[in-house]
Amino acid sequence: MRRRRRLHAAERGPLRAGRATVWYTDAVALPLGAADLRERLLNGYYRQPGALVHDAETIAANAAAFNGPDSAVAARARGAAPGASG
């Protein structure tokens, strides 16, 4: 079962409709964030550079899916992910 995390109002982005809360874990297929990436780096998780790039691109795709492709959050995530397009 996936872990659910209630987001602050500023994090909900365009997916907050009326009073209904959209869970981040329902909006993206693979919830992954910068803290996860950092932890994986510190623990020697990545065996190939392509795996790190894939995770960075996943974070960028998640940001665009949840916050909208034109949001500042998505733009910042794209800037940190080599090869990510929006």
Give tens-digit pLDDT for 50-86. 999 999 999 999 999 888 899 999 999 998 877 655 5
Domain residue spans in the chain?
9-80
What local confidence, expressed as pLDDT, does residue 12 receive?
47
pLDDT digits (tens, 9 = 90+) for 23-38: 888 888 899 988 999 9
Beta-carbon contacts of residue 77 (< 8 Å; ≥ 6 apart): 59, 60, 62, 63, 64, 84
Q: Which CATH superfamily is domain 9-80 in?
A: Bromodomain-like (1.20.920.10)
**What stretches of 1-86 adopt beta strand conformation (E)?**
none
pLDDT at 10 over 50: no
